[in-house]
Amino acid sequence: MASHGEYKTPGGKLVVVDLVVDDGRLQNVEVSGDFFLEPPEALTDIVRALEGAPAAASEAELAQRIQEQLRPDAELIGFDAASVAVAVRRAVTDGRPRERA
């Protein structure tokens, strides 16, 4: 079952993460929200950094993984790697089922 986590940044941008924890690893990670990033392909970098990450990873470890995978010209506007990490941890620890559209 997919889990859902959200984090509202101090600037008011929403970061949403939906994922599945399978065998202690993050799978089927989806990141969305009302933030902006350039180039748009940087979203793929974020997802790639999280796919397969240990579900027990701390916020700091997740943020570091994201930073290391981001392309050099990536610009995150209204959020940062730490914001995504908070949403991931909330999805993992709260385990709220994903709402169906």
Question: What is the reported pLDDT for 95?
Answer: 62
Question: How far, in Å, CA of 35 to CA of 4, rounded?
Answer: 17
Assigned domain for 76 exists: yes
The ranges of the chain with pLDDT < 70 are: 95-101
For residue 73, the enclosing domain spans 3-96
**Does residue 37 form part of some domain?**
yes
The residue to which tokens 């089927």 are assigned: 28
Q: Is residue 21, in this structure, part of any structural domain at all?
A: yes
Task: Supply the pLDDT for residue 37.
Answer: 95
Structural domain total, the chain: 1
Residue 34 belongs to some domain of the structure: yes
Tell whether 101 is covered by a domain: no
Per-residue model confidence as pLDDT tens digits over 6-32 = 999 998 899 999 999 999 999 999 999
**Spatial contact of 19 and 2, defined as CB atoms under 8 Å apart:** yes
* pLDDT the model gives residue 100: 44
pLDDT of residue 96: 62
Model's pTM, two decimal places?
A: 0.91
* Residue 68: CATH number of its domain: 3.30.390.50
